[in-house]
Amino acid sequence: MAYYKILNILPACLVLLLMSYSASAQSLPALPQKIPASGDTTRKDTNQVRPNAGNWTLIPIRETPCLSCNGRKWAVAGGHLAIWGASFYTLNKAWYKDYPKSDFHFFNDNAEWLQMDKLGHLWTAYQMSRVSGVAWQWAGFTRQQAAWLGGLSGVAYQSIIEIQDGFSAEWGFSWGDMTANMAGSALYTVQELLGGDHKIQVKLSYSPYTYSDDMKARRDAFFGKSVQERILKDYNSQTYWLSANLRSFIPASGLPKWLNVSVGYSGKGMLGGMDNTWTDKEGMEHDRSDIRRTRHFYLSADVDLTKIRTNNKILRTVFYVLNAVKIPAPTLELSQGKLRGHWLYF
């Protein structure tokens, strides 16, 4: 359930990315014409910046921390705190106030939603860490420093939400959710520390699930009435992907640098967390156990948009944001022991 709330406020985190882009247009310290030899101590450049690798890095990579970027560092730190504070306030006002409070407690929800909610936490943590890391890079930190700060920021943000769940009588602090949060942030951090080539990425796609007419009221009440709400809430319509860059794994293959292969997972037929029985607000009991809850596995092609060459900063920013989503492509699907193909699946 916490995942619903995270995604409803996730767009606010893109403020950090927009902040980093708007200021990246400003001039950055140039790479010196001559780098001193290792034994030369007469000159040290503490603001050295490496040019964009391949012309597609969103933010130029710093070799050493920027000692004159305190203003940027305070701005990014303040942006993080503002987003965390606003999210905390908004969630309390719009969500938690309508539910009874309790003492802090734990809740095991690992069996719910065919584990789709855990993949949602993984995707959210990875994307939040990724956006935060770019902001910290712009602030003047090296890639390694920004990797740690971005990963820790992603975990810290989601921990606030899990702690609030821990004081809610309806839910509780979920170690399953926190494990997924830490895994998503760790996937970002480790790949950044290893050089910034994200060989494996976490992506999301959405394809509207078909509800029967008698189930549309349940859909509207539980998953939202608008398309925007359902994209964020409807587990039946979401697919999560691990997208691997082929050229990164096989450098000598000669394959396009942007070509990925993706393995996806989704769950269908879910009308409740554990089963398809529930009691509505009027006290009427519903039992739709006839609707089978099924797991679906996918294999598909994908594109790493961040590896498409462009010198246009706006386009690089657009590619960076859209890379959180898998592109539609021909797909193989395995479910209930049957294999089928889709000319185009999203």
Domain boundaries defined on the chain: 1-33+44-196, 198-346
Predicted confidence at residue 289, as pLDDT, reads 94
Predicted confidence at residue 56, as pLDDT, reads 56
Predicted confidence at residue 95, as pLDDT, reads 67
pLDDT interval class at 63 (50, 70, 90): confident
Predicted confidence at residue 208, as pLDDT, reads 92
Q: Is the dihedral of CA 301, 117, 158, 152 positive or negative?
A: negative
Q: What is the mean pLDDT of the chain?
A: 84
Which DSSP helix (H) or strand (E) runs through 201?
strand 200-206
Judged against a pLDDT cut of 50, whether residue 55 lies above it is answered with no
Mean local confidence (pLDDT), 179-188: 97
Residue 262 β-bridge partners:
243, 300
Report residue 259: phi and psi, to 5°: -80, 125
Residue 133 CA to residue 121 CA, distance in Å, equals: 18
Predicted confidence at residue 48, as pLDDT, reads 59
Q: Give the distance between the most distant pair of CA atoms in the chain.
A: 81
Q: Report pTM.
A: 0.85
Q: Which residues contact 26 (CB under 8 A, 6 or more apart)?
A: none
Nearest CA among 69, 63, 56, 83 for reference residue 23: 69
pLDDT interval class at 228 (50, 70, 90): confident
Predicted confidence at residue 47, as pLDDT, reads 54
In terms of pLDDT, which residue wins out, 66 or 281? 66
CB atoms within 10 A of CB 79: 19
Do 2 and 174 form a contact (C-beta atoms < 8 A)? yes
Mean local confidence (pLDDT), 308-326: 92
Q: List the single range of 3-7, 158-162, 175-179 with lowest mean pLDDT.
A: 3-7
The dihedral region occupied by 264, where left means phi > 0, alpha psi between -120 and 50, and beta the remainder, is beta
Predicted confidence at residue 281, as pLDDT, reads 79
Residue 120 CA to residue 7 CA, distance in Å, equals: 9
Residue 234 CA to residue 226 CA, distance in Å, equals: 11
Residue 287 CA to residue 272 CA, distance in Å, equals: 11
Nearest CA among 209, 186, 206, 188 for reference residue 197: 188
What percent of the chain has a predicted confidence (pLDDT) above 90?
59
Mean local confidence (pLDDT), 116-120: 95
Q: 3-class SS at 17?
A: helix
Token reading at 222: 């539980």
Predicted confidence at residue 24, as pLDDT, reads 40
What percent of the chain has a predicted confidence (pLDDT) above 70?
83
